[in-house]
Amino acid sequence: MNAAQAPSRSPHTIVVVGTGPRGISVLERLAVRLRESAEHDQRPVTIYAVDAVEVGAGRIWRTDQDSWFAMNTVIGQVTMFSGGPDGGRPRPGAGPSLGQWLHEYAPDRARPGDGHGPHDFASRLEYGRYLRFVYRTLTDELPPHIRLIPVCGGVTSVRPGQHGGYWVTVDGRRTLEADRVVLATGHPDVAPDGFDRAMSDFASLHPGVRYVPGNSAADMDLTDAAPAGTTVAVRGMGLSFYDVLMSLTVGRGGRFVRDEDRQLRYEPSGQEPTIVAGSRSGLPIPARGRNQKAPNYVHRGAFLTHDAVTAARQRRTRSGGSGQLDFQEDLLPLVVHEIRHVYYTGHMRARHGAQAAEKFAARYVAEVGAGGDGTEAVTEAGLTDVPELDLDRLARPFSGEHFGDVQEWRRRLTAVLRQDLDEAALGTVDGPLKAALDSLRDLRGVLRAAVDHGGLLPRSYDADFRRGYVPVNALLSAGPPMVRTEQLMALMECGIAEVAGPGTEFGTDTQAGRFTVHSPQVEGSRRWAEVLVDARIPAPDLTRDRSPLIRQLLSEGLVREFTNHDPTTGEEFATGGLDIEQDTFRVLDGQGKPHDGLLALGIPTEHVRWFTQIGNGRPGLNTEFRKAADAVAAELLPVPVADPVPAHPRVAARA
């Protein structure tokens, strides 16, 4: 035990930088642990909760944003408490889920039939209010010797103190002295890439032309940048695309209504621009299936298991390698078997009932376990007429197709969107396709354990996983509510929105003084636009992060970029992630030495750990989200002592 880890009777100070879901989750587990230790350790503890936008909600979930920005997880599957209600008052370790809060605690409480059932979706605004409720609960339920102090401001530097601990500077003015610091900052502000610079430069040279770089749609200037009647080109058709779409339509006073036949149509306000969207695939992100799963339901893998990953790693080691895996050879086949298993079992259940489905499922597992590929089981079950499940084809359904005109393309796209809605309506249990794709969410835990902290060979991580599987997985398993697809189709029907086509290319026309957007696979698709919006959230990249804090930490050698390294070949890949120690979440300095008391989790550590953008726990489950928060909380706490200490001294802060 070193000096910094030795038990101390002195007051203890913790700074949590960022109070979005990750920061709140750490605060909640800190509160649980501090309450549990209060009987035998009355040492004063001060916790500063620091956020540049809104303490208790953060930027993405801030409570002053518009109500049309939606979550993509049903409210029954969202909680920030590490335990459910137990009959007592809400407190750290025992509190309501988002759905329960909306019905029991929210100021404007939900009512039956108002779209807030357990399988419905909330707005980001409502989730932000829930986060604030959790934060206030923590503040109210801490023991007297523990203080949680909000600090609204941006952290501009974190430096080691002369005698241990850290100096945390807020807005370049106020400095907090801390024993432990955790970085739980969210989506970064990254420096523009070549495309951004070219589009911005073009816009600056042409009056009336605007380029809006990637960001959360709530932070974009979509009012002044796109006057009514202009044409807006939108790059990217993921989740943020729908936020942009709503801002330019509902945000302009238009509204969606359902006819007597339940078909959705759009009533324009007259203030909308014309919207032309596009992406590489040409496919707007498919809808999430109608949820049929209980909050604590988790698909248990039959193929992609921790044992299977361990066995694959052992094979790689025996063959003379480092034990790092090849995603394409070692993991992707297991993923494919998992979703095919769910998919065909679902079709069997729909045709012949639960007993036949159970028998088929066992037969498929046995065949694959014996070295087969499941084909015999599918044939014996009479399922050869079922369309093959191909992830790449689902993510890029228009690959290799060419359309003679815009009308032909629009018919094809509409057919694909209608088919996707039909599949989504069947549900995440009864619908074979959406059940299979929804299982990808439950497989993340095992896959994360396989790929995190350099678990893959550098080349495989970059090409096969990061640029290959991850975009496909995000497109097919993290979609919006079904209504978003309906809304897009209604906007297409009335001529306000259109999709350019597959392989969309965005550029500039100097002579016309406008942006261009077209698909080389759709004849006659070229359009000109006064405004170009990048509807993609920038990916985390330590080397491009413009945060003063990150720049300071990098320049002073206090952090480093995680580099995926193969020790047997020397091959390397610089990931852009903030390097941290496995299990403890302690930040590694420029020499690879872990800091004692400086930790990080969430989005800054993306590429070291996978899928860190998830923003909630699930009721009844000990999820990765909760485990990470608890591991960080354990590192932030002082080593317990038995003797009581005096009451709180003056807080260590200076102006």
pLDDT digits (tens, 9 = 90+) for 94-118: 999 999 999 999 988 877 667 788 9
Confidence of residue 316 (pLDDT cuts 50, 70, 90): very high
pLDDT tens per residue across span 360-385 = 999 999 999 999 999 999 999 999 99
What predicted TM-score, i.e. pTM, was given to this entire model?
A: 0.94
pLDDT at position 116, please? Answer: 85
Asked whether 84 and 620 are in contact (CB, 8 A), the reply is yes
Q: Which residues contact 385 (CB under 8 A, 6 or more apart)?
A: none
- Cα 235 to Cα 249: distance, rounded to the nearest angstrom: 17
DSSP E strand boundaries for 400-510: 497-499, 505-509
pLDDT tens per residue across span 49-94 = 999 999 999 999 999 999 999 999 999 999 999 999 999 999 999 9
Average pLDDT over residues 446-451: 96
- Cα 49 to Cα 35: distance, rounded to the nearest angstrom: 18
pLDDT for residue 648 is more than 80: no
pLDDT for residue 148 is more than 90: yes
Asked whether 148 and 98 are in contact (CB, 8 A), the reply is no
Radius of gyration of the chain (CA): 26
DSSP one-letter code for 252: G
Closest CA to 68 of 230, 231, 259, 255: 255
pLDDT for residue 3 is more than 70: no
pLDDT tens per residue across span 514-528 = 999 999 999 999 999
Instruction: Tell me the CATH class for 12-189+541-654.
Output: alpha beta
pLDDT tens per residue across span 4-13 = 444 445 899 9
CATH of 194-237+248-253+268-282+488-534, one of 1.10.4160, 3.30.70, 3.90.550, 3.50.50: 3.50.50
Confidence of residue 640 (pLDDT cuts 50, 70, 90): low
Task: List, as own/partner pairs, every contact residues 619-626 make where C-beta atoms lie below 8 angstroms and the sequence separation is at least 24, other chains included.
Answer: 619/76, 619/77, 619/79, 619/84, 619/97, 619/295, 619/296, 620/84, 620/295, 620/296, 621/295, 621/296, 621/298, 623/445, 624/444, 624/445, 624/448, 625/21, 625/25, 626/25, 626/29, 626/82
Strands 274-278 and 497-499, bridge-based pairing:
parallel
Confidence of residue 459 (pLDDT cuts 50, 70, 90): very high
Q: Which two tokens stand for residue 28?
A: 């909640």
Q: What are phi and psi of 196, to 5 degrees?
A: -55, -45
pLDDT for residue 120 is more than 70: yes
pLDDT for residue 168 is more than 60: yes
Q: Where are the domains of the chain?
A: 12-189+541-654, 194-237+248-253+268-282+488-534, 306-477
- Same fold yes or no, 12-189+541-654 and 194-237+248-253+268-282+488-534: yes
Tell me the average pLDDT of the chain.
94
Cβ–Cβ contacts within 10 Å for residue 548, how many? 15
Average pLDDT over residues 463-492: 97
Q: For 113-117, 325-329, 455-459, 515-519, which range has the lowest pLDDT when averaged over its residues?
A: 113-117
pLDDT tens per residue across span 596-637 = 999 999 999 999 999 999 889 999 999 999 999 999 999 999
pLDDT for residue 647 is more than 80: no
DSSP one-letter code for 126: H
pLDDT at position 110, please? Answer: 72
Asked whether 532 and 514 are in contact (CB, 8 A), the reply is no
**More confident of the two residues 225 and 412:** 412
Q: Which residues contact 256 (CB under 8 A, 6 or more apart)?
A: 250, 264, 265, 266, 267, 487, 490
